[in-house]
Each structure stands twice: as C-alpha cells, then as structure tokens.
Amino acid sequence: MAKKAILDLDIGVDDTMALMEALENPELDVIGVTTVFGNVPQATSERNALDLTEMLGHPEVKVYPGAKHNLVSEEVFEAPPAIWEIHGKNGLGEVVIPKSDRVAEDIEAADFLAQAIDEYGDDLTIIATGPLTNLALLEQKYPGKLKEAGNVTIMGGAVGVQGNVSPAAEANIGNDPEAAKIVLEESGAPITLVGLDVTMRVMLNRDKVNEWRKLGEIGEKLADEVNYYIDFYEKSTPGLGGCSLHDPLAVAVAANPELVTTVPLDVVVDTEGEMRGRTIGNVKTLRSSENPINVAMLVDAEKFEKQLNDDIQNIIKEAEAK
C-alpha cells in the first residue's frame, strides 16, 4: 500500500521535479503540499504548487501556506538575484505555466501537519525539500508531534562534503539553522537526511530533458524550466552537461529507501559564527547515540536516474492525455 505523503516545498526547479516524482511514484500517495520560503518567497512557492499540481493533472492535491521567513526574522523573505540565476525569479526558470483557479487552504502548514500526523501516524511520510521552518513551527506549537510520523525525509545538510552557500552550510539548512536545530537535534523524529553527500552524485543531462519536448506542450514547458537550471550548472561547473538532483532524490528515497546507504549519526547544527548552518556528526555520541539520524552517504545513481526520468516522462504523458 502506498505511503501517505506530505511534501514541504520551496518550489524552485528541482522542487518541480520532486513534485513530479512524488505524484508518479506508486509508493507514495500525496495528500498535500505545504509551502515555505527558500528558492522563492513563500507566496510564489504557494502559487507554483497550485499551478503545477493543476498542470500535471492532480488538482485534488491541496496546498497549505507555510512560513514566510525564518525563525529569527520578522521580515518576509525575498529571494536575492543570485537565486534568480538558479531558479528564475518565478522559481520555474522564467517559464510561464497556466494559472490554476484554485487557492490555498485556510489551514496553516503546521496545523495541517499536526492533523495529518494525528490521522495517519506511522503511515505518514513527510518529505521536506526547503528550509525546515514549517517543521520547527510544528514542534513549537505541538511539542513531540513530529516524532509520531512514520518517517521524515529531509533534503538538506552536508555532512561529508562542503556546503553550497558557504564552505560549511547547505542552502536549506543555511536559510534557517535554528529551525534545523529544532528538527534535527530536538524533535526525536525518525529522520532520513538526504544531503549534498548524495545529491551531488546524481545528475540529469540536457539530452534526456530535451526528450520531454516530444511529449507535447507540457513537456516543452518543463524542458525549458529544467534547461534554465542546467544553464546555471554549466556556468558554475563548465562541462558538467546537466544538473544535480537534490530534491527529487529525497522524494525517491522516501519512497524507495534502498536507493541509498545510510549511516546512523547524531547530527548537530551550528547556529553561530562562520560555521552557521553546518550539519555535522556529534563526536561525543558516535558510539552510543540514542536518537541517530539516518544520513545518506552512498546512492545507486544509475537506478535513481533511470527511475526519475521514466517517472517524469510518464507523468508528462498522463498530463498531456487529460
């Protein structure tokens, strides 16, 4: 039976692919999308979630508004121009997609998460691919609730490699280290951490993306979106020929854990100084951690890359046929 799943997204380009993987993967039954700031402002993430689920043929998936800024700020997050170069100002590589008539639900993300955990318990998987602010707000409002979920899979962190927004920090953790500290150190939740250690080992190349164009108008739009993302990778890493697959890998691992090899580790988060946003194993508890996080360190890249491309092609075909 498919796992009930909630996606917590800051919808940029790789979140789009994550959403497609989640909707198509037979191991997941997506019951909602919660939105957060990160690659784009929260309001843009919300709009993208509504429009993408509609375009992909899944208007039944409800969207819930989440955090507009991190835990230590009262100022609504606005993405800096450096992020526009990666995801576009609209988060979709500047591609314009049809606008849905639907609107987000009145329930805030933290409240929806709590209700879903109460209803589904161990049968619920939460997949977070943006800053962990919504999950931290859940813990602040409903202490101990997150550990009642069956699994929490997080795209975030860099335990054995350097970060991508600083030598120490990966972007999702770096956007809200205080939230990450609550979730990773204090929640006691059953967490799988899918960080740069594995997401930089998987790639989608331009030739495969351009195959989507043959599938119709939706395929063309999605190919344009992902090629914008690949353009950034080509500038930052000349000759790479494709893009890393951060968020879709986290979704695939939540559905199919055998894709990665994990190491149990008591992960701590730095919130001060130049190491702010770093995720690292606690050397004091390497032998006796009571609540280890499963940190993904190796990935079956070939199997995942084929699975993702097949699933994306299938959902495009299905959406084009509707």
Distances (CA, A) of 39 to 14, 20, 62: 10, 17, 21
Render pLDDT for 183-231 as a digit per residue (tens, 0 to 9): 999 999 999 999 999 999 999 999 999 999 999 999 999 999 999 999 9
Read off the pLDDT of each residue in 259-267 and give the average, rounded to a whole number. 96
The verdict on whether 246 is a catalytic residue reads: yes
- Cβ atoms of 113 and 120 within 8 Å: the answer is no
How much of the chain exceeds pLDDT 90, in percent?
Answer: 94
CATH of residue 293's domain is 3.90.245.10
Render pLDDT for 111-134 as a digit per residue (tens, 0 to 9): 999 999 999 999 999 999 999 999
Q: How far apart are CA 156 and CA 194, in angstroms?
A: 6
**Overall number of domains in the chain:** 1
The verdict on whether 10 is a catalytic residue reads: yes
Residues 6 or more apart in contact with residue 87 via CB below 8 angstroms: 12, 13, 39, 40, 79, 93, 228, 229
The total number of residues shown for the chain amounts to: 322
| Residue 305 confidence class, pLDDT cut points 50, 70, 90 | very high
Q: Give residue 114's pLDDT.
A: 98
User: Which one of the listed residues 176, 224, 246, 311 is annotated catalytic?
Assistant: 246
Q: How far apart are CA 125 and CA 10, in angstroms?
A: 18
pTM confidence score: 0.97
Residue 289 scores a pLDDT above 80: no
* Residue 315 structure tokens: 């959902």
CA 272 distance to own-chain centroid:
25
| Residue 249 confidence class, pLDDT cut points 50, 70, 90 | very high
| Residue 165 confidence class, pLDDT cut points 50, 70, 90 | very high
Distances (CA, A) of 243 to 120, 204, 223, 259: 35, 5, 13, 19
- How would you classify the pairing of strands 3-9 and 124-128? parallel
DSSP string, 189-250: --EEEE-HHHHTT-EEEHHHHHHGGGG-HHHHHHHHHHHHHHHHHHHHSTT--EEE-HHHHH
Q: How far apart are CA 310 and CA 313, in angstroms?
A: 5
Domain that holds residue 52: 3-321
User: Which one of the listed residues 10, 14, 224, 311 is annotated catalytic?
Assistant: 10
Q: How far apart are CA 238 and CA 58, in angstroms?
A: 37
- Beta bridge partner(s), residue 240: none
Of 307, 281, 276, give the one whose Cα is nearest residue 294. 281
